[in-house]
């Protein structure tokens, strides 16, 4: 495989946080993934960077000031007293106010913003932040284990220099927060492969295609329980190839949620490690600037295996990896086989019934063919000056770069 410049973002503090005893989301999975990546000696093949943590001001490029301020101040002790138990901002037991919540959010979002910036500067072909991918968070509300939507923040960063951005989501759950953020614009095409029926958040039907200027630029591919590698590939590759050929994105963001793997504690798909990683390999071959993010995944050893393997895919050494795990600090988690693998099982595949896969694929492709051409926008070498003038500002106005950036995005109706 051809050489790619890969930037890998990791903050060693990310694995120290806990959503609470019994909660399925385990930030430790990022530390175990990094440990495996290091054990396989992949780090010398990448630019390994500890990202700056996102500030509250950076978070308000998408989220409301009130919500960010709440996350910044809330603690487990004060959650019950703040705004009626936090019910305006937090959704029940899924999103607890755990110790270090805001720091956790700032690490996750900071890594994704840094990855987007690395793509913008042309210093990397692929940028990785496994601590990101928290796709359910809304502008003013946490949802589905997600508080700050690092993906939306990263895409807004990419839009500063790129005309069109393609967002692809292979998490078991629908990428509703990202789709909602860009539902009315054609500058971002969102494409989610997920389980929709009888599954949180319940959105993401084939018929959900966007509104207004964004009509047709939201693509949803709902699968049924038990989807296999062959099922997934037979739909993913033709749909994404059509989108790449027609939409011609300047950059791609791939959310690699690992709860679509076989054996996940909250998922009911039947993808192997190789089947999941085929999506990364496919997009790497497309040779478009690529941001890889994490997401869901609740069987920790499976998450660690697949993200380690997909890091190798990004570098181009996946075919050379020894499936027998090297010694590492968390080796006991991978017994009794101690192999880099996620095996499929004998789960019933409901997708083969009544020609479901083919009819879904054809419906999605027909929707895409209804769109006449790839959108374009007029770009300027100094858009910040132009936008500042249109807002009645002068160079002497006391407005810093981040504030100007926020007001530009709001003026453009992107945030």
Catalytically active residues are 136
Burial 174-185, CB ≥16 within 10 A → b, else e: bbbbbbbbbbbb
β-strand 290-293 against 126-129: which pairing, if any? parallel
Which CB contacts under 8 angstroms, 24+ apart, belong to 18-26? 18/98, 18/99, 19/96, 19/98, 19/145, 20/96, 20/98, 23/93, 23/96, 24/145, 24/265, 24/266, 24/298, 25/145, 25/298, 26/298, 26/300
CA atoms within 13 A on the CB side of 127: 29
CA neighbor of 126 nearest in space, from 340, 322, 316? 316
CA neighbor of 340 nearest in space, from 324, 357, 361? 324
* Length, in residues, of the chain: 415
315: left (phi over 0), alpha (psi -120 to 50) or beta: alpha
């Amino acid at each position: 495989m051809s050489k790619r410049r890969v930037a890998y973002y990791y903050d060693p503090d990310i694995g120290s946080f806990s959503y609470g005893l019994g909660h399925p989301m385990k930030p430790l999975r990022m530390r175990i993934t990094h440990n495996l990546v290091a054990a396989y000696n992949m780090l010398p093949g990448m630019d390994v960077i500890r990202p700056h943590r996102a500030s509250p001001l950076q978070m308000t490029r998408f989220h409301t000031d009130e919500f960010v301020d709440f996350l910044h101040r809330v603690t487990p002790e004060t959650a019950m007293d703040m705004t009626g138990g936090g019910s305006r901002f937090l959704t029940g037991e899924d999103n607890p106010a755990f110790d270090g919540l805001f720091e956790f959010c700032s690490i996750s979002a900071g890594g994704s913003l840094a990855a987007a910036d690395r793509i913008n500067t042309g210093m990397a072909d692929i940028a990785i932040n496994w601590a990101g991918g928290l796709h359910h968070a809304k502008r003013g509300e946490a949802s589905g284990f997600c508080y700050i939507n690092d993906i939306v923040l990263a895409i807004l960063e990419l839009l500063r220099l790129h005309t069109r951005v393609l967002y692809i989501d292979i998490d078991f759950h629908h990428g509703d927060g990202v789709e909602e953020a860009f539902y009315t614009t054609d500058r971002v095409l969102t494409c989610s492969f997920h389980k929709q029926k009888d599954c949180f958040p319940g959105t993401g039907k084939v018929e959900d295609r966007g509104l207004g200027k964004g009509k047709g630029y939201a693509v949803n591919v709902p699968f049924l329980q038990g989807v296999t590698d062959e099922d997934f590939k037979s739909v993913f590759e033709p749909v994404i190839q059509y989108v790449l050929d027609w939409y011609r994105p300047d950059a791609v963001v791939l959310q690699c949620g690992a709860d679509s793997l076989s054996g996940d504690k909250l998922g009911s798909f039947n993808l192997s490690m190789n089947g999941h990683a085929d999506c990364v390999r496919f997009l790497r071959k497309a040779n478009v600037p690529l941001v890889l993010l994490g997401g869901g995944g609740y069987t920790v050893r499976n998450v660690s295996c697949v993200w380690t393997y997909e890091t190798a895919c990004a570098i181009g050494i996946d075919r050379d990896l020894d499936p027998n795990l090297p010694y590492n600090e968390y080796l006991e988690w991978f017994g009794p086989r101690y192999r880099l693998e996620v095996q499929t099982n004998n789960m019933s595949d409901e997708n083969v019934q009544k020609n479901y896969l083919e009819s879904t694929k054809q419906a999605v492709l027909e929707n895409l063919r209804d769109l006449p051409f790839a959108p374009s926008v007029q770009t300027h070498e100094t858009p910040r000056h132009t936008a500042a003038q249109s807002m009645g500002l002068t160079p002497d106005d006391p407005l810093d770069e981040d504030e100007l950036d926020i007001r530009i995005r709001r003026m453009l109706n992107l945030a």
